[in-house]
Chain A
Amino acid sequence: MSLYEKVIKKPWPYWVGGILLALLNISLLITTGSAWSITTGLLYWAAAIAERLGIRPGEWYYFNFYEYGLKEGQTFLYNSYTVLNIAIILGALLAVLCAKEFKWKKVKNFKQFCFALGGGIIMGYGTRLSFGCNIGAYFSAIPSFSLQGWVFALFMFVGAWIGSKILFKFIL
């Protein structure tokens, strides 16, 4: 196999990905002082859309009493989380294009659409309760020595178990 095939085309083993992600998270913390977190950025996007519609989420309790208020020089649309999330999307896109594996994949049917939307809403709601998603409250919280990470991991297993039952019953 040529070098291209070996490095770019063949999938990397999981443990390589694991080590790289760990190093990247550490680099992120060193260079920016904040650990990797995704869903807060999504909340900001939702707030930005809401602002266009006339709602004023900036005045809500949530943003004023916990450190979720915006830092100076940032808005709901232009902030560090947005940069990070868009970079992740583009990075994945670049990897797929280099391996010539990009393909538009449509939504298969209405049932799939409903489960996708419903799953997303439940996930989003859950992240606000536990102060983070699988990245923020798990991948970044456990190395930060926060109990939150371990509790989240344990109950994510419980949730995944329930979800699997639902999957088998309705989707398969």
Chain B
Amino acid sequence: MTSSKIEELKRQRQLEQRKRGNQKPYAILLAAFIVVIYLAFTHYNLRFSSYWLIGILIGITMQRSRFCFCASFRDPIMVGSTSLLKAIILALFISTIGFFIIQYKAILANPNFAIHDIPGHLHPVGIHTALGAVLFGIGMVVAGGCASGVLVRIGEGYMMQMVVLVGFLIGTFLGARHFVFWDRLLVSKSTTVYFPNYIGLFPSLFLQLVLLAALYFIADWYDKRNNIMTTV
């Protein structure tokens, strides 16, 4: 929505516009480089070619849609806006269905599965998870980005996120170094809670989808409620 005042300002500004440099040659060069590396991978290491291709697509998608996991947690708190959170819940909804199908096929093929055989990201959960998540939450708001956001913004040219990356290197390094301590204190006493182990695969799918749908509607309601208020 614009107003006449804004249209006037825009018109004035466009008259003064500087001549812009051309970035297309770099784009073409980079695209060629990407394709070359991809072809090299298909030749030498087929699995890596999938990582490469999907990574490129993830980078493009996140950059173009301005996706920011950090903002999805921060915006509801700071400005009452949940549009990103809804998009993530939608993504989780679809991924749940997809992962379910993959896990189902894996379990059918190998009924006596052990937890670490199941495709996906499954790890012990306990107080350490909560602690790590709180640290992560504080860090991501303060640094202005989370792990995925850091990578995407480095690609966009932010020098500040390179500093955050260095912080990540130091932090993960120290965390791994101190892991013996945390393991003895908390981790070794915890287990991996894989829902289907307790209630079966299909009920887990159903309950999780219902929960995600409910969260989506709550987020939507919260967002609409905040439209009535004017400022923070």
Interface residues of A, Cβ cutoff 8 Å to B: 8, 11-39, 42-43, 45-47, 49-50, 57, 60-63, 65, 67, 80, 83-108, 112-113, 115-149, 151-164, 166-167, 171
Report chain B residues within 8 Å CB of A119. Answer: 138-144, 164, 167
- Besides A88-B62, A133-B136, 4 other A-B contacts (C-beta < 8 A): A118-B142, A157-B137, A159-B137, A166-B138
Q: What's the least CB distance linking B175 to chain A, in Å?
A: 3
Contact present for B159 and A123 (CB under 8 Å): no
The residue in chain B whose Cβ has the minimal distance to the Cβ of A28 is: B54
Contact present for A39 and B168 (CB under 8 Å): yes
Contact present for B147 and A95 (CB under 8 Å): no
Report chain A residues within 8 Å CB of B164. Answer: 116-117, 119-120, 123
Report chain B residues within 8 Å CB of A152. Answer: 129, 132-133, 136
Asked if A115 meets B142 with Cβ closer than 8 Å, knowing A120-B163, A132-B121, the reply is: yes
Contact present for B77 and A105 (CB under 8 Å): no
Contact present for A87 and B139 (CB under 8 Å): no
Asked if A49 meets B51 with Cβ closer than 8 Å, knowing A17-B65, A95-B63, A121-B139, the reply is: no
Measured as residues with beta carbon below 8 angstroms from the partner, the interface class of chain B is: 35 or more
Report chain A residues within 8 Å CB of B154. Answer: 89, 92
Asked if A60 meets B177 with Cβ closer than 8 Å, knowing A42-B169, A93-B59, A143-B99, the reply is: yes
Contact present for B95 and A25 (CB under 8 Å): yes
Asked if A147 meets B137 with Cβ closer than 8 Å, knowing A97-B23, A164-B74, the reply is: no
- C-alpha spacing A157/B138, complex, angstroms: 9
Determine if B222 is an interface residue (Cβ-Cβ < 8 Å).
Answer: no
Contact present for A92 and B31 (CB under 8 Å): no
Option from A18, A30, A94 in Cβ contact (under 8 Å) with B34: A94
Report chain A residues within 8 Å CB of B90. Answer: 15, 18-19, 22
- C-alpha spacing A105/B157, complex, angstroms: 6
- C-alpha spacing A74/B178, complex, angstroms: 24
- C-alpha spacing A108/B160, complex, angstroms: 8
- C-alpha spacing A145/B30, complex, angstroms: 38
**SS class, residues of chain B in contact with chain A:** helix
Contact present for A120 and B143 (CB under 8 Å): yes
- C-alpha spacing A13/B78, complex, angstroms: 21
Asked if A100 meets B156 with Cβ closer than 8 Å, knowing A16-B65, A45-B169, the reply is: no
Report chain A residues within 8 Å CB of B128. Answer: 129-130
Report chain B residues within 8 Å CB of A93. Answer: 30, 59, 155-156
- C-alpha spacing A21/B61, complex, angstroms: 7
Question: Quick check: which of B1-9, B11-19, B193-201, B223-231 contacts chain A, the rest being far away?
Answer: B193-201
The residue in chain A whose Cβ has the minimal distance to the Cβ of B126 is: A151
Contact present for A126 and B173 (CB under 8 Å): no
Contact present for B169 and A127 (CB under 8 Å): no
Option from A46, A143, A147 in Cβ contact (under 8 Å) with B169: A46
Instruction: Render B163-198 as a binary contact track against A, CB cut-off 8 A, 1 for contact.
Output: 111111111111111111011000000001111100
Contact present for B166 and A117 (CB under 8 Å): yes
Report chain B residues within 8 Å CB of A160. Answer: 70, 73-74, 77, 137-138, 140-141
Determine if B213 is an interface residue (Cβ-Cβ < 8 Å).
Answer: no
The residue in chain B whose Cβ has the minimal distance to the Cβ of A33 is: B119
Among A33, A98, A163, A166, max chain B CB count under 10 A is at: A163
The residue in chain B whose Cβ has the minimal distance to the Cβ of A167 is: B141
- C-alpha spacing A12/B24, complex, angstroms: 20
Q: What's the least CB distance linking B103 to chain A, in Å?
A: 7
